[in-house]
Amino acid sequence: MAQLNFNAATVAPSTGFDVLPAGKYNIRITGSEMKPTKDGTGSYLSLTLTVADGPYANRKLFDRLNLNNKNKQTVDIAYQTLSAICHATGVIQLQDSSQLHGILLSCKVKVRPAEGKYDESNEISSYMAVEGGAPGQPPAPAWAAPAPAAAPFPVAAQAPAAAPVAPPWVK
């Protein structure tokens, strides 16, 4: 049990989210985890994707790559998809799925129609590098200084700075 001091009258209720329209989206992988399959005989890589820009920025999408499954074709498709993600991100030698986190890439999203007890949902059909460029790069850490701008004209070589003098108490 969790002790809560919450007044629902102060927060508008969630109305849920509709599926994203089919199309191409710039995304970042923001979470990944290996999970067991429902029948317990295999495992899949669960990916959380976050839309990076546009009117759907910060919306979440999800994908599952069945990397360990009795069905060889399912495994082959999963590894081909993982290869597409690796090529799109520039992470060719993948040791841990966290290496893919935060790197900008694109994906094509389809809308899977409602079926039986399931509502319509989004499905990722392919991954690729962001349009017009090389594979995406992870964002610079907040503490990183921007690269210096190129000088507008040649700068004369400067003499190296003199070595610092140690204070007298340091021997």
pLDDT at 62 (0 to 100) = 97
User: pLDDT tens digits, residue range 111-137?
Assistant: 999 999 999 999 999 999 998 766 665
- Do 154 and 144 contact (CB within 8 A), yes or no? no
61 vs 171, residue with greater confidence: 61
User: pLDDT tens digits, residue range 54-110?
Assistant: 999 999 999 999 999 999 999 999 999 999 999 999 999 999 999 999 999 999 999
Entry pTM: 0.72
- Counted residue by residue, the chain has a size of 171
Q: Which two tokens stand for residue 105?
A: 């890439």
In order of start, what are the domains of the chain with their CATH numbers? 19-128 (2.40.50)
pLDDT at 17 (0 to 100) = 81
Q: Please report the DSSP string for 6-35 in residue order.
A: --GGGSPPP---PPPPSEEEEEEEEEEEEE
pLDDT band at 139 (very low <50, low <70, confident <90, very high): low
Q: Helix or strand or coil: residue 77?
A: helix
Q: Rg of the chain's alpha carbons, rounded to an integer?
A: 24
Percent of the residues in the chain that have a pLDDT greater than 90, as a whole number: 68
